[in-house]
Chains A and B, each alone.
Chain A
Amino acid sequence: MAWSDICITGLGESPVGKVPEKSSTDLYAGVILDAVDDAGITPDDVDVLITGGSRVDPYLYHAEMMAEYLGITPPTCLTVNTGGSTSVSLLRQAAALLLAGMAEHVVIAKADNLATGMSRDSVVESMATIGHPELESPQGPTIPSLYALIEQRYLHRASLRPEEIAPVAVVDRYHASLNPAAQYRDPITTEDVLASRLISDPLRLLECAPVSDGGCAVVLSRRERASGKRPLVNVLAVGQAHDFEHVTQASSLEYTGARISGPAAFRDAGVSPSEIDVAMIYDAFAFIQCMQLEDLGFCAPGEGAAFVGDGNTRLGGALPVNTHGGVLSHSHAGRPSALFLVVEAARQLRNECGGRQVHGAATALVHGEGGILASHATAVLRAAS
């Protein structure tokens, strides 16, 4: 067994946005069953069930609860309830189980109903413990404000004005307009972004992720166990980097761990940035995409905003990014957001994206980050030959 024997075989997605008729558990069940069916297997074939838990329904043993709900008894159940990098790094852990012969089919599922299952403020407050409870929280920093601290420093370092970041949100929205499944589909302009209200200077509303319901699931399988129902997607490599938790402790706030996770993934995959046909980059806040484009090696330091502003990341550009609409416009149901990046990358490589398809897409990159740009994971995927 080698990494080339590890395949994404099944994908499942729920509607996103406001889905008031479904509980988080209902959303989970739907995407797991859809992904399993897409892989051409049955729920009983699942050896490992990994879920991301739910903020609305915070079961301690969430994966076990979902297995019970589905009437299955997979030998391994894991609830991994961390954030934006985890959906990508879990590809590595799933591959390890498959490579070790400890599983034949692994399901990774994430869903939640943050938009309609709990009040907006309680959602955001539930995420607020990301700061140091004694030494940071008494100062009232919100999650957007902790990101804004990094953006402000990034703008200073790269000699950028806040308005140069806005095209990230515009491109995400343009791609969402091509995706019937996205939550926010009405095109916006740079002027719209700059006219939206300040949330935490320099972050404006349209540069911040929405709050959504929704979920998705991915099946990874050993190649010889794949049903062949759908085109196979290889996971070539996953790189990870974990630097800090609190923003005061970062070794640098001007560059990110993508400078480590990206090159590690490229090295292990035997692929260079110029070979990437389409990229999915976690962007709960617009500026993140610019920093990550730089740190992953797609453009020079300080040129991420210009790279986006010049149209490179739009469909038809040199490197289409976030063709589903990104976290900013597709959806942000919390933990599912980065897994949606994996789903979209796999759909591009399966040539299933219709009006937003990147023609001839053969190799894709997915980058997730979690915490306050603290935890990073980069995956390189390729359409199996």
Chain B
Amino acid sequence: MTTTERPRPAGYDDHRPFWDGAAAGRLVVQRCTQCGAVRWPPRILCGACLSPEVEWVEATPTGSLFTWTVIHHTTLAGFKDDPPYAVGLVEVTVAGGLVRMLGGIRGCAPSELQVGMALRAQFEVVDDGALVNWVLVGDDERQET
């Protein structure tokens, strides 16, 4: 596999706490301390009230599958040996708000994927952080026991 051709976390300051959290097995997102809105991806101001005042809050690393696809053909050089692979948008509830994240969906057959299914984050450590993938809650628990 030509992993060196895959895009990787770039290490910019505004994303650093997210990658550091993921590398430590924690899912952290930003919360505006002025209006309370949660946001992801991280950025330097609140899209709701424009305040730069921010805190990082830890989310319970579970979510709901908002939508998904299984990629059967890719033109991305770094992923050419990967198909089929599943990608989804996962809704995560945190601090009274909701964020959607795009992540890989692992460890289940395409026929198992359903909108609304419960998922748990699984952190894949890479060079400079950890990618956040998602697995079925049930499967994850089976793997842990």
Q: Bound state CA distance, A200 and B82, in angstroms?
A: 13
In the assembled complex, B56 has its CB within 8 A of some CB on chain A: no
Q: Bound state CA distance, A253 and B73, in angstroms?
A: 23
> Which of B10, B40, B85 interacts with A248 by CB under 8 Å?
B40
Q: Bound state CA distance, A200 and B76, in angstroms?
A: 13
> Which of A139, A156, A197 interacts with B72 by CB under 8 Å?
A197
Q: Bound state CA distance, A247 and B101, in angstroms?
A: 9
Q: Bound state CA distance, A133 and B75, in angstroms?
A: 16
In the assembled complex, A198 has its CB within 8 A of some CB on chain B: yes
Besides A137-B7, A199-B73, 11 more A-B contacts (Cβ < 8 Å) are A132-B41, A138-B126, A140-B87, A142-B76, A149-B68, A152-B69, A200-B70, A248-B41, A248-B99, A249-B100, A253-B89
In the assembled complex, B24 has its CB within 8 A of some CB on chain A: no
Q: Bound state CA distance, A148 and B18, in angstroms?
A: 27
Q: Bound state CA distance, A4 and B68, in angstroms?
A: 46
In the assembled complex, A224 has its CB within 8 A of some CB on chain B: no
Kindly list chain A residues whose C-beta atoms are within 8 Å of the C-beta of B52: none
Q: Bound state CA distance, A134 and B102, in angstroms?
A: 11
Query: Are the C-beta atoms of A149 and B69 separated by less than 8 Å?
Result: yes
Would you list 21 pairs from A and B whose C-beta atoms are within 8 A, ordered by A residue? A124-B75, A133-B7, A133-B10, A134-B7, A137-B7, A138-B6, A138-B126, A138-B131, A140-B76, A142-B71, A142-B73, A145-B69, A152-B69, A152-B115, A197-B72, A197-B73, A200-B71, A200-B73, A201-B72, A203-B69, A248-B100
Kindly list chain A residues whose C-beta atoms are within 8 Å of the C-beta of B82: 140
Query: Are the C-beta atoms of A149 and B72 separated by less than 8 Å?
Result: no
Query: Are the C-beta atoms of A201 and B70 separated by less than 8 Å?
Result: yes
Interface-centre pick from A145, A198, A199, A201 (highest chain B CB count, 10 A): A145
Kindly list chain A residues whose C-beta atoms are within 8 Å of the C-beta of B107: none
In the assembled complex, B78 has its CB within 8 A of some CB on chain A: yes
Q: Bound state CA distance, A153 and B110, in angstroms?
A: 15
In the assembled complex, A301 has its CB within 8 A of some CB on chain B: no
A155 to chain B, nearest CB (A): 9
Kindly list chain A residues whose C-beta atoms are within 8 Å of the C-beta of B104: 139-140
Interface bracket on A = 35 or more
Kindly list chain B residues whose C-beta atoms are within 8 Å of the C-beta of A124: 75
Query: Are the C-beta atoms of A201 and B110 separated by less than 8 Å?
Result: yes
Interface-centre pick from A199, A246, A248, A249 (highest chain B CB count, 10 A): A248
A41 to chain B, nearest CB (A): 42
Kindly list chain A residues whose C-beta atoms are within 8 Å of the C-beta of B131: 138-139
In the assembled complex, A309 has its CB within 8 A of some CB on chain B: no
Kindly list chain B residues whose C-beta atoms are within 8 Å of the C-beta of A135: 15, 41, 102
Q: Bound state CA distance, A197 and B70, in angstroms?
A: 13
Residues of A98-144 at the interface with B, using a CB-CB cut-off of 8 Å, are: 120-121, 124-125, 128, 131-142, 144
Kindly list chain B residues whose C-beta atoms are within 8 Å of the C-beta of A125: 75-77
A87 to chain B, nearest CB (A): 24
Kindly list chain A residues whose C-beta atoms are within 8 Å of the C-beta of B77: 121, 125
A247-B76 contact in complex given A141-B87, A152-B67, C-beta closer than 8 Å: no
Interface-centre pick from B75, B88, B99 (highest chain A CB count, 10 A): B75
Query: Are the C-beta atoms of B75 and A128 separated by less than 8 Å?
Result: yes
B81 to chain A, nearest CB (A): 11
In the assembled complex, B103 has its CB within 8 A of some CB on chain A: yes
Kindly list chain A residues whose C-beta atoms are within 8 Å of the C-beta of B72: 197-201
A4 to chain B, nearest CB (A): 40
A148-B69 contact in complex given A140-B74, A140-B79, A141-B102, C-beta closer than 8 Å: yes
In the assembled complex, A31 has its CB within 8 A of some CB on chain B: no
A300 to chain B, nearest CB (A): 22
A190 to chain B, nearest CB (A): 20
In the assembled complex, A193 has its CB within 8 A of some CB on chain B: no
Q: Bound state CA distance, A56 and B81, in angstroms?
A: 27
Query: Are the C-beta atoms of B75 and A153 separated by less than 8 Å?
Result: no
Per-residue CB contact flags for chain B residues 78-119 toward chain A (1 = under 8 Å, else 0) read 110010010111000000000111111000001000010000
With CB as the reference atom, state the residue of chain A lying closest to B18: A135
Q: Bound state CA distance, A200 and B68, in angstroms?
A: 10
Q: Bound state CA distance, A200 and B74, in angstroms?
A: 9
Kindly list chain A residues whose C-beta atoms are within 8 Å of the C-beta of B9: 134, 138
Q: Bound state CA distance, A203 and B85, in angstroms?
A: 14
Query: Are the C-beta atoms of A200 and B69 separated by less than 8 Å?
Result: yes
Query: Are the C-beta atoms of A140 and B102 separated by less than 8 Å?
Result: no
Kindly list chain A residues whose C-beta atoms are within 8 Å of the C-beta of B102: 131-132, 135-136, 139, 141, 246-248
A215 to chain B, nearest CB (A): 23
Kindly list chain B residues whose C-beta atoms are within 8 Å of the C-beta of A153: 66-67, 89, 115
Kindly list chain A residues whose C-beta atoms are within 8 Å of the C-beta of B10: 133-134
Query: Are the C-beta atoms of B69 and A201 separated by less than 8 Å?
Result: yes
